[in-house]
Amino acid sequence: AVLKAEPAAVFKFPLAPLGCSGLGSALLAAGSGLQGGSASPHLPLELHLRGKLDPGPPEPGGKAKKGRRSRTVFTELQLMGLEKRFEKQKYLSTPDRIDLAESLGLSQLQVKTWYQNRRMKWKKIV
């Protein structure tokens, strides 16, 4: 006997976050493996992640949410400049951050975030 579930019944089960199942990387690598007419109780990957990555259309009468910023991919030149400056200076003042950001073609926020992450990596090593 083949059981057919209504499409609405699929959404009644809570979904585990991708990172919790241990299969997150496998699912991401599989790409379209969750699409189609599978009998899986989980949403296709695009639908599962849509609320986290795509802000969608703004709600009428509500404030529009800003979408999550995509991950910055630094060029080799930018990384070399950041690393070289980090060797000399572990903390940047605001004017130094502005100068470094302009010289490397980055925003101040990108430089600030990179420095925060780099300091955490440095503290783990030391």
**pLDDT tens-digit map of 55-113:** 555 656 667 778 887 888 999 999 999 999 999 999 999 999 999 999 999 999 999 99
The answer to whether the CB of 108 falls within 8 A of the CB of 101 is yes
Q: What is the CATH number of domain 76-125?
A: 1.10.10.60
| Domain locations along the chain | 76-125
CA–CA distance, 2 with 90 (Å, rounded to integer): 63
Q: Work out the angle between the directed axes of helices 94-104 and 76-88 (0-180°, nearest 10).
A: 160
pTM greater than 0.85 (yes/no): no
67 SS3 class = coil
pLDDT in tens, 2-26: 555 555 544 444 554 544 444 444 4
